[in-house]
Amino acid sequence: MKLFITGICGFVGSTLTKALLDHKADLAITGIDNLSRSGSWLNREILTKQGVKVVHGDIRNASDLEANGPFDWVIDCAANPSVLAGVDGQSSSRQLIDHNLGGTINLLEACKRWNAGFILLSTSRVYSIPPLAQLKVEVHDRAFRPCVADSSSWPVGLSEQGISEAFSKAPPISLYGSTKLASETLALEYGLTFEFPVWINRCGVLAGAGQFGHPGQGIFAFWIHSFKEKRPLKYIGFGGKGYQVRDCLHPQDLVSLLEKQFSEPLVTNKPRTVNLSGGVSNSMSLRQLSDWCEDRFGANKVVQTDTERPFDIAWMVLDSTKATNVWGWKPQTSIYDVLREIAEFAEGQKDWCQISAS
């Protein structure tokens, strides 16, 4: 089987590639990356040694795809993943849209040409912000959780297990979220129109060893590396206590589902879109994460601030019950195993935040 993986030198793309190679011996993998992230060249060297063909190119340029292929499947891991992208001054709104949406369009045109299946790794940020921002929460063990006493007024798609696929996707969802939701819609339309398989996998916070030390790349790795390097941190918003919660998922846990999606017939009753996450049992607040880091690395400065940021949400945990019921999928790596993996990697690095932060 021939796979084409975009963003292959990023954390998710490279980790997923290594996991796929470990699980399937009959894979020929080609990947593309523009190598714009600091530290991405390190993954390029590792992947090349594993027999992966890494193309230096940009999915925003259709011509960079034309010299490649055909392939059986395209897995799209390339994205500007920050919810603040396009509004934080680090990238323009046009750059965000060209990358996250324009790049998807070029890939879908390539899938049509190659007759290849398409798998999009999407995000929890396609879900509507206002009902989540207005959700009444309570503090339990240094972490927010939805107030159970208020459950009768919870919006459709929200339960104690998290946010399901039925939750509203009405705007605002951020520019980042809208590019991913638009990509989802286009991908499904292309698949139906040109008769190639499409799967949309909406992921929670992906984390693991080798993730770049930048908050937009993944809060768990950023926090752990910052603690290890004694870099000051901030609790931002929600009273500055650090009670905001996210779930955690290791990219290697996607492989068992991808293998089933590769094998599924084109005509199927299975839903094309599912949530994939660590769920409530693999979620944690920043305050809890700080306590874990302090036990491992010792004390570090964490400043409490009242600064509020746009699009921030106190509790964001995806409910992957549908993926379990339909595919038999469950996360295999516990959040504490993920944290230990990141910490062990951090202990073997020097100045990882500086190397990989830009």
The full set of domains in the chain, from first to last, is 2-356 (3.40.50.720)
CA distances from 233 to 16, 222, 227 (A): 29, 10, 8
- pLDDT of the residue at 311: 79
- What does pTM read for this prediction? 0.95
Residue with tokens 């520019």: 175
- pLDDT of the residue at 357: 61
What whole-number distance in Å separates Cα of residue 242 and Cα of residue 227?
15
pLDDT tens track of the chain, all 358 residues? Answer: 999 999 999 999 999 999 999 998 799 999 999 998 877 888 999 999 999 999 999 999 999 999 999 999 999 999 876 665 556 666 788 988 998 999 999 999 999 999 999 999 999 999 999 999 999 999 999 999 999 999 999 999 999 999 999 999 999 999 999 999 999 999 999 999 999 999 999 999 999 999 987 777 789 999 999 999 999 999 999 999 999 999 999 999 999 999 999 999 999 999 999 999 999 999 999 999 999 999 999 999 999 998 888 779 999 999 999 999 999 999 999 999 999 999 999 999 988 887 766 5
Q: Which of 336, 235, 331, 261 is nearest to 293 (CA)?
A: 336
- pLDDT of the residue at 11: 94
What whole-number distance in Å separates Cα of residue 128 and Cα of residue 87?
18
- pLDDT of the residue at 157: 98
| Cβ proximity of 232 and 302 under 8 Å | yes
| Cβ proximity of 55 and 29 under 8 Å | no
Please give the helix or strand (H or E) that residue 345 lies within, else none: helix 335-347
